[in-house]
Amino acid sequence: MELNVTETLQALQNAMAEVLTAVRALESRLIPAEAAPTDAAEGEVAKITASVEGGTGSLAQHSVALALEERAAGVEQRLKAAESALASLEASSNTTKSLGVRKTLPVATVQLLAKQGIEGGDIVDVKSLDAALAGLSVEHRIAVKSQMLRTGTLTP
């Protein structure tokens, strides 16, 4: 057990020595860095030089930024145009969906109306249709009227 404790203490001392060596190495790097900008004029010249050299780069960056802004504005305009076109298509789609029924009358209904002198494509009022359908049963009259209402050829 004593060997184990002794080995652990020895390992800790070795680790502490390594840490101390690393700290001294960092101190040696830090001291020259702190002493370097002792002359204030040299520090300002370096800053001015950096800003002048960065000036051409910032001009190029500025022109790139302007070009990107122009492209973004163009893309935004196209997006707005596409959104308005999409909205109009959706609006027309909604009306089509609500009216998405058959627009023509079945052949049998057209023939029945033709026998009574009513053309199938014309808009018919209820009174003349009732007179034409007088010979049919109630179920057939209801079926013909509902078909004509769906197609929009019957005015209520």
Reported confidence tier of residue 94, pLDDT bands at 50, 70, 90: low
| Tokens 């009174």 belong to residue | 127
pTM above threshold 0.85? no
Whether 129 and 145 have beta carbons less than 8 Å apart is answered as yes
- Per-residue pLDDT for 140 more than 80? yes
Cα 23 to Cα 26: distance, rounded to the nearest angstrom: 5
Cα 95 to Cα 97: distance, rounded to the nearest angstrom: 5
What count of other Cβ atoms lies within 10 Å of the Cβ of residue 147?
19
Instruction: Kindly list the domain boundaries of the chain, sorted by start residue.
Output: 1-34, 50-100, 107-155
| Residues belonging to the chain | 156
- Per-residue pLDDT for 65 more than 80? no
Quick one: pLDDT at residue 139? 92
15-45 pLDDT, tens digit per residue, is 888 888 888 887 777 666 555 555 554 555 5
Query: What is the pLDDT averaged over residues 121-125?
Result: 76
Cα 10 to Cα 138: distance, rounded to the nearest angstrom: 111
